[in-house]
Structure 1
Amino acid sequence: MYLGLDLGTSGVKALLIDDEQRIIASGNGSLEVTRPHSGWSEQDPEHWIRATEHAVQELRASHGKELAAVKGIGLSGQMHGATLLDANDQVLRPCMLWNDTRSHKEASTLDADPRFRALTGNIVFPGFTAPKVDWVRNNEPDIFSKTRHILLPKDYLRLWLTGEYVSEMSDAAGTSWLDVGKRAWSQELLAATELSLDHMPSLVEGTDVSGTLKSDIASRWGMKSNVVVAGGAGDNAASACGMGTVGEGHAFISLGTSGVLFAANNAYLPNPESAVHTFCHALPNTWHQMGVILSATDALNWYAGITSRNAAELTNELGPDLREPSGVTFLPYLSGERTPLNDSSIRGSFYGLEHASDRAVLTQAVLEGVAFAFCDCSRALAAAGTQLERVTAVGGGSRSTYWLKTIATALNIPVDVPADGDFGAAFGAARLGLIAAEQVNPREICVAPSTASTIEPETKLTAQFDAAYHRYHNLYPALKGVQS
């Protein structure tokens, strides 16, 4: 048996698979985000441990025998979080999360230093770890002076599980401190933020063993004492391992809280000017590119809260057939935007409202707005050298066939829907746990699921969607002018 632990923004998922990669059971522990100020987003790392305990104990209650047979654990986690520890491993402040944009000034300053783009292959985004820690240095100097270790969220969980300070390449690539081509920490970039290698965890590949589960935790979970913990992956790379998106030409689109357009690469292909992320993959000698939008299902859930309807009710109200864009445009910049805008201060809006703009019309506009944000990502990927021919849909939003029809038509490429199953980050993490425990070929394990159906673009609406995207694309500079 093999266990995947996925530390997400809204919860921890524990997924158990067997040696044939069949899903046996899963458990969950919930998390909440605090937003004390506009643009801030934080969590208490202690809550990650509580949620993990809850998720695993849920598994133990239903599948204790199977849990006792676990040989390897893989970790997946939300990326970019800044978890600051003192010399006694005590957390010094709440962790600033991936969607925390308070460090936009620090990010701009670091990005102006040409060494960062040259070595990391990426723009320094406000959501990345380095500018967050630089914000602490500028605004909370006492905490910065006490900081001895800086860990990403899943790596703090690893420290609790194993006692080891370890990260892996895919997650480390999102800090702005990693030389992504060399797959090593850059002492030069660390020094630019008044840090050193002593602050950083050691690095392994996602398929490597990073440590062994502590005996007291193993006993509490009913496991043996020799369970290995794999390097694991950042959440998107872990999802790619679960989807089998590990080789050239494979891509997926993730409709989660945020949105991701992810393409695997067999070579390092940086193009930071496109605002595309170029990161290490979880598998050795493999990289990936991705466009990221900050509000995907988050945008629909926000609208659902306003209308007092759930997301499924709203999308079902649109019916089965794809509608022509109505003329109402939604810009989904509820917490700024990453690809391709790199703008933490821009905010969302509806444009083109009229008396006939009922709830269904606005729902349609929200779905289209997220789809058009993916169009921006697709264009950015093309500028970075990756032309998408088709994508596989994952994430909670992919349950909406209407939304997938919207995306296929907006991007003008087929969208594959995998056969029923859980192929997300927790499954990918479990696969990495299997690989580390058994020392098997990663590409023989990380294979793609079968395709249940394919949603083709509705070519009869191509011209209308192109016109609606053109309107969407032109609204950002106008909105920026009003908000600046």
Structure 2
Amino acid sequence: MYLGVDLSTLGIRVIITNPHGHIIDSESTELAVSRPQALWSEQNPTDWWVTFCQVMDELASRPYLSQVKAIGLSGQMHGATLLDKNAEVIRPAILWNDGRSKAECVALEQAVPNSRETTGNIMMPGFTAPKLLWVKHHEADNFARIDKVLLPKDYLRFLLTGDFASDMSDSAGTLWLNTQKRDWNINLLAACGLTSNHMPRLFEGNQITGVLQADLASRWGLTEVPVIAGAGDNAAGAIGVGLVEPGQGMISLGTSGVYFVVTDQFSQQAELAVHSFCHALPHRWHLMSVMLSAASCLEWFAKQVVKEDIGQLLEQLESYPVNLKTTPYFLPYLSGERTPHNDPLAQGAFIGLTHDTSKLDMLHGVLEGVCFAFADGVDALHQSGTKATEITIIGGGAQSAYWRQLMADVLKTKITFRKGGEVGPALGAARLAQLAMEPHLSTEQICPQPETLQIHTPNSASQQIFEQRLAVYRQSYSQLRTIFNEEIL
């Protein structure tokens, strides 16, 4: 058996797979995000560990955990987890959707003029490097205590094994990595007041980084099994749905939204805020566009606005006669935006509300607005010359057939929905663990594309109206951008 761990923003999921890659047991629980100030987004790393242990204790009470022979890790990217020389947490982790370090992004690009060529990315507040420079500028005492900087899943790794280690895909998202050479860049580290001694050792996603500590093995009824490097959540999600060859692509409709395409060489389109990272396997890279709020917009609307169950709302929408000529527009920038705007000050907005607007009109507007933001990201990535030859959709939001079809209609492309997409990162982590332990099997044998459940083709009859609405959506952001910046300042 193989254990796959996914430390996401909103919870921890752990799955157990058998030698055939089938999920035979799983457990999950939720996490909360703290937003103490405007633009801030934080979590306490200790909460990650406590929650993870609760999940593992539950799995240990069931029959399969004792048969696990390796552990793979995946998790939310970019989070700055700071430890002192005693390996104690210095301050809450600053998360991927935190927007406080805009000034530090400018400073870093001025300090390292070739940073975009080195990393393949434009500096954004979501990345780890500007977060550390912000800590240096605003929390000097905390910065002086830093001994190690870890990504979220790698903090779990340290507590599991005692080792400071990370993988290439997650580390590429720090913006301290030379993405083509797959190694730390001393100039980018120095610009943040750090050295390679502050960083974990680097491994490919299918390599062993350490073994489970004896006391934890005893607690959970395991042997001292190997712990595998794993991957950042997007790369792990891609592995989970079999995206290992150049040209294979996916849309991840999770808390954030990602359009992801595998490549066999390093390339970049940094000026349009397209991300260029290492993939979870050697000799593979990927490009991706990222929007900061995707399925989280649906969760916000259901919980904060109408205070109703998400499933029931979507069920009502499926039989509702949506009128696209009167449906309000929605800008999904609840946490700012990355691709293509690189605007941490962007905000969400409804446009076109009237007395006749119903909650289901607004709900459709939310789903459509997320699709429009995806369209922006897809267009930006395609300008690099890279384009997916096939697209699989994964993530919690992808469980809605209505939303999947809407995505196909807006993007004007065929989209495939496969089995297991909702647990993609955890499944990818388990697959990477299996790759490490069974090198006699090929990547294709361990990482096949899961069973197709549904194929969505675009409805040609609706394309003209969606093109018109997309044009208005784009104009809305352009005209509101100045207001967003003034309002939040």
TM bracket, shorter-chain basis: over 0.9
Work out the CA distance in 1 between the residues paired with 2:7 and 2:84: 22
Q: How far apart in 1 are the matches of 2:358 and 2:388?
A: 35
Instruction: Answer with 28-37 or 176-185: which moved more.
Output: 28-37
Find the aligned partners of 1:421 and 1:94 in 2 and give their Cα distance. 30
Partner of 2:176: 177
Q: Distance in 1 between matches of 2:364 and 2:29?
A: 32
Partner of 2:255: 257
What is the identity, as a one-letter code, of the residue corresponding to 2:351?
A: Y
Pairing of 1:179-194 with structure 2 (within 5 A): 179-194=178-193
Distance in 2 (alpha carbons) for counterparts of 1:279 and 1:119: 11
Residue aligning to 2:28 = 28
1:262-281 equivalence runs, <5 A:
262-281=260-279
Task: Sort the Cα spacing of 1:320 and 1:290 in 2 relative to 1 into closer, same or farther, 3 A.
Answer: farther
Residues 322, 402 of structure 1: 8 Å contact kept = no
Q: C-alpha displacement at 1:218, in angstroms?
A: 0.6
By how many angstroms is 1:389 displaced?
4.5
Does the 8 A contact of 2:289 with 2:377 survive in 1?
A: yes
Which position in structure 1 is the counterpart of 2:131? 132
Change (3 A) 1:453 1:321: farther
AA aligned to 2:208 is V
Residue type of the alignment partner of 2:9? T
Say if 2:420 and 2:450, in contact at 8 Å, map to a contact too: no
Q: Residues 360 and 204 of structure 1: is their aligned pair in 2 closer, same or farther, counting only changes over 3 Å?
A: same
Q: What is the Cα deviation at residue 153 of structure 1?
A: 0.5
Matched, 1:468 2:469: yes
Tell me what 2:447 maps to. Answer: 446
1:423: Cα distance to partner? 4.6
DSSP-derived class of the 1:283 partner: coil
Matches within 5 A, 1:29-428: 29-63=29-63, 66-112=64-110, 113-225=112-224, 227-305=225-303, 306-320=305-319, 323=322, 325-327=324-326, 328-419=328-419, 423-428=423-428
1:293-347 superposed Cα distances (whole Å, 9 cap, x missing partner):
1111111111112112122222222225884523421000011001110000111
What is the letter of the counterpart of residue 79 of structure 1?
Answer: M
Q: Which runs of 5+ in 1 are unaligned?
A: none
Is this contact kept in 1: 2:180–2:266, CA < 8 A? yes
Please report how far the alpha carbon of residue 444 of structure 1 lies from its aligned counterpart in structure 2 after TM superposition.
Answer: 2.8
Change (3 A) 1:23 1:134: same
Once residues 232 and 387 of structure 1 are traced to their aligned partners in structure 2, the CA distance between those partners, rounded to angstroms, is: 26
C-alpha distance in structure 2 between counterparts of 1:422 and 1:44, whole Å: 25
Query: Taking structure 1 as reference, are residues 120 and 16 closer, same or farther at Cα in structure 2, changes over 3 Å only?
Result: same
For 1:133, the aligned partner's letter is L
**What are structure 2's unaligned runs of at least 5 residues?**
none
Seen in structure 2, the aligned counterparts of structure 1 residues 420 and 446 have a Cα distance that, compared at 3 Å, is closer
Alignment check: 8 A CA contact 2:394 2:421 kept: no
- The letter for the 2-side match of 1:117 is R
Please report the TM-score for the alignment, with normalisation by the length of structure 1. 0.97
Note closer, same or farther for the CA distance 1:106–1:34 as it changes in structure 2 (3 Å cut). same
**Amino acid of the structure 2 residue aligned with 1:14:** V
Paired with 1:289 and 1:251, the residues of 2 have a C-alpha distance of: 10
Equivalent residue number for residue 10 of structure 2: 10
- Alpha-carbon deviation of 1:108? 2.4
Q: CA deviation at 1:468?
A: 0.3
Separation (CA, whole Å) in 2 of partners of 1:170 and 1:431: 15
* Alignment check: 8 A CA contact 1:254 1:260 kept: yes
Q: TM-score, length-normalised on structure 2?
A: 0.96
CA 183–313 in structure 1, closer or farther in 2 if over 3 Å, else same: same
Amino acid at match of 1:250: Q
Question: Structure 1 residues 258, 271: CA separation in 2 closer, same or farther (over 3 Å shift)?
Answer: same
Runs of 4+ in 1 over 4 A off after TM superposition: 320-324, 420-423
CA contact (8 A) 1:207 1:442 kept: no
Distance 1:434 1:20 in 2: 10
In structure 1, C-alpha distance between the alignment counterparts of 2:109 and 2:329, rounded to whole Å:
32
CA gap 1:178/1:349 in 2 versus in 1, 3 angstroms: same
Q: Is the 8 A contact 1:3 1:14 kept in 2?
A: yes
Alignment coverage as a number of residue pairs: 481
User: 2:13 corresponds to which letter in structure 1?
Assistant: K
Tell me, in whole angstroms, the C-alpha distance in 2 between the residues paired with 1:18 and 1:240. 19
Residue 421 (structure 1) shift: 6.8
